[in-house]
Chains A and B, each alone.
Chain A
Amino acid sequence: MKPLTSDFRAKAAETMVDEQVLQSLEHVYTGFFKGRLEAAGNTDNWEDLREKGKAIKDHTIAHLDYYLGQLADNVEKNGGSVFFAADAAEARKYVLDLAHARDIKTVIKSKSMVSEEMALAQALIDEGIEAVETDLGEYIIQLSGETPYHLIAPAVHKSRKEVAELLDDSYVDGNPVPDATELTMMAREKLRSVFERADMSVTGVNFAVAESGSIALVTNEGNGRMSTTVPRVHVAVMGMEKIVPSIQDLSTMLRILIRSATGQRISSYVTLVNGARKSDEEEGPEEFHLVILDNGRQKLLADEQMRESLNCIRCGACLNACPVYRKVGGHAYGWVYPGPIGAIVTPVLTGLKDASNLPAASSLCGACHDACPVKINIPRMLLELRYRTAEGKTDKQERTSSMRERTVWKAWRIGMMGRKRFDVGSRLSRLFLRPLAENGWLKKAPPPISGWTSTRDFPLISSSSLRSRLNKRSKKTKS
């Protein structure tokens, strides 16, 4: 998928005045965010599980080269094929070549963010192959020609009426809008026949187990099960970080993933497959292929400040928790991964200079860090990326801070580093700012402070510091 990260401001502004979309985004909060809190609250050892999940991921990523080799060996031992793709184009070509070689007519796709990175569905369609998204949300998005709005609820921004226009052939404007059940049953009908004729499936991978060569798929709808059962060729695509060492690690990972994603204790289906169907089975694919994608992830791995982002299990909890995501929506982020996690991986994965505004779209409130089931310190990385952009660390030409700004901050730093300097500095600022204040608040100020006061008031610096007040108080209590 072609990144469009430069449009953040424009797209965010569009969303913020779209009442219907804002209302849909409330579902993200009331449904997923509160659901996760409740699920975590009802889990005795929730914090231990998070620690355990983090430890499993830390260990795996620290030995990713070893586990990638082990995974590939075991998939091959199970009779599957493994393809290592350096970028999205290589991965796409592998799948397209395979589809042609096997004379594939219809591909069913299960939800996969990696396949979005590959822009796979459209690539198949361009080659004359029918490619249908089977997750209901993804299917709706495919019909409307959009990109996913949310990691686990791709069509969360769509109203029932919009869905009816896409799904219900008999719907005309002005008719009563069918309810969610009726619309879902229409989709069931349409997709059933697609499942029946599909000869290839493409699924994502929630976890790949290195020691057994298994892949685990988590779905509520059952499309993951259809995909691993009906077509004669199954292709699973995964980012290189999606490994766990042992089958036994799955109990921890499934618990934290599912609770964090939807607030459920378990999703309707968890499917574990170890390659193609066995010789005595009547169903299941004849061939299994695993595509392991890099697509910029090496840059995250090599960068010690950013490596932790590879622990992400794509649950979407940070999106649901983010006050910015809930107002600007998923499309503003411009690429596959929206929200806080998108704001840190998109600039590095796409390498785009104009994606550097994504880390700025955060209040650094830390809600994403609290919500993350594997405790990824997203705010720390947001700050790191902001720092790099401001200082021109990645590209001197693209340094966003001006000489004046840097000088001001240098002076600020000096002022803040000594008690005397700090006291003198605050007294001086108060002296300069007092004439502009009304009742202790700056409401209108000249540039550059006007950037702040145009949208909010700034409190006038107090005449006495907290420290001097505390000193006075403690003297009083002593006497």
Chain B
Amino acid sequence: MTSRAKFIANVTSSLGRTEVITPSSDDSTAAFDDAATARANAGRVMADTAARSVELTDTMAEAASTIGWKVHRVANPEDAADIVANICVQKGATSVLRSAHDILDEINVDAAVTSTGANLRVTEHSGDNNETKVNESKSAAFAADIGITGVDYAIAETGTVVLHPRSGLSRLVSLAPPTHIAVLRPGEILDSLDDLFAMERSDHMSGNLAGSMNLISGPSKTADIEGTTVTGIHGPLEVHLIILETD
């Protein structure tokens, strides 16, 4: 008997049974909703997100600022670029890292960063992830002063930004540099954690679940010394949220 079979057999017998019973349905969990239900739920979330985007943007901005995001609401791409440039200057940034999100091209972030004299690196996928490449991108992330990303979703309930790391979207851009700037559009803001996980479950049921996901809610925090909250223990000390509210 393998250790797995033995382990699970023990659990079965501890439960007072002789064989594993497959649970059929239970109201407590969403595990028994089929793919069609999951897709329908996701569809509802998307419709709700679009219909309520004005209200959700306000809620998001408020929730985000209470947990430590510096929120910038801008009406056009040029203003977004100016804010990025200002942050670079303010931080005296010499090296900036950014992900390959489309929204960053749209606000022409590269020009904004380089105009301040900082070095810019884009985490584009090279199609080759050998060890040298991996180490190089790691060192670049740890050395960078600012990391800039778009988002996959935001969550108005909690002021959270959601990122699915993938090709061209490094996990470290939003983590290693002491300052993180996230740029998002109103249409990306979901109402709640329930909505996010409904979207994720739909992806899962259609076989498209991302390899990993990070929910980011404000700066890195700790209160491990005398209960005093301090930001920036391992992740960013300062986080900016730029909401691009164009029509």
In whole angstroms, what is the CA distance A155 to B234 when docked? 17
User: In the complex the two chains form, is B171's CB within 8 Å of A284's CB?
Assistant: yes
Q: How far is the CA of A137 from the CA of B26 in the complex (A)?
A: 39
List of B residues within 8 angstroms of A62 by Cβ: 15
Are A84 and B137 in contact (CB-based, < 8 A)? no
Whether A137 pairs with B215 at a CB distance below 8 angstroms is: no
Proximity bits, A232-274, B CB within 8 Å = 1, else 0: 0000000010001111111100110000001011111111111
Q: How would residues 1 to 40 of chain B score, 1 for a CB under 8 Å from any chain A CB and 0 otherwise?
A: 0011011111111111100111100111111010000000
Are A192 and B142 in contact, CB atoms less than 8 angstroms apart? yes
Task: Report how far A214 CA is from B212 CA in the complex, Å.
Answer: 8
Is A312 close to B, CB under 8 A? no
Contact of A247 among B126, B201, B221 (CB under 8 A): B201
State whether A274 touches B225 (Cβ < 8 A): no
Q: Is A302 an interface residue (CB 8 A)?
A: yes
Q: Mark B69-105, 1 if CB is under 8 A from A, else 0.
A: 0000000000000000000000000000000000000
Q: How far is the CB of A110 from chain B (nearest CB, A)?
A: 10
**What count of chain A residues pass the 8 Å CB interface test?**
99
Give the Cβ gap from A224 to chain B, nearest Cβ, in Å: 9
B46 at interface (Cβ–Cβ under 8 A)?
no
Q: Which A residue sits closest to B157, measured CB to CB?
A: A265
Contact of A134 among B63, B139, B234 (CB under 8 A): B234
Best-buried of A63, A183, A262, A275 by chain B (most CB within 10 Å): A63
| Residues of chain A at the chain B interface (Cβ within 8 Å) | 24, 27, 30-31, 52, 55-56, 58-60, 62-66, 68-69, 72, 82-86, 90, 134-137, 140, 153-156, 158-160, 163, 179-181, 183-185, 187-188, 191-192, 195-196, 210-212, 214, 220-223, 225-226, 228-230, 240, 244-251, 254-255, 262, 264-275, 277-284, 292, 294, 298, 301-302
Q: Contacts A31-B227, A59-B23, A225-B235 given; 13 further ones with Cβ under 8 A?
A: A58-B28, A65-B8, A65-B20, A66-B23, A180-B230, A185-B232, A221-B220, A222-B235, A246-B31, A246-B33, A248-B33, A262-B223, A282-B129
In the A-B complex, list the 7 residue pairs whose CB atoms are closest, starting with the nearest.
Answer: A222-B235, A248-B30, A27-B227, A55-B28, A245-B31, A137-B224, A180-B228
* Contact surface of B with A, Cβ cutoff 8 Å: 3-4, 6-17, 20-23, 26-31, 33, 63, 67, 123, 125-127, 129, 133-134, 137-139, 142, 157-160, 165-167, 170-172, 175, 192-194, 196-198, 200-201, 204, 209-228, 230, 232-235
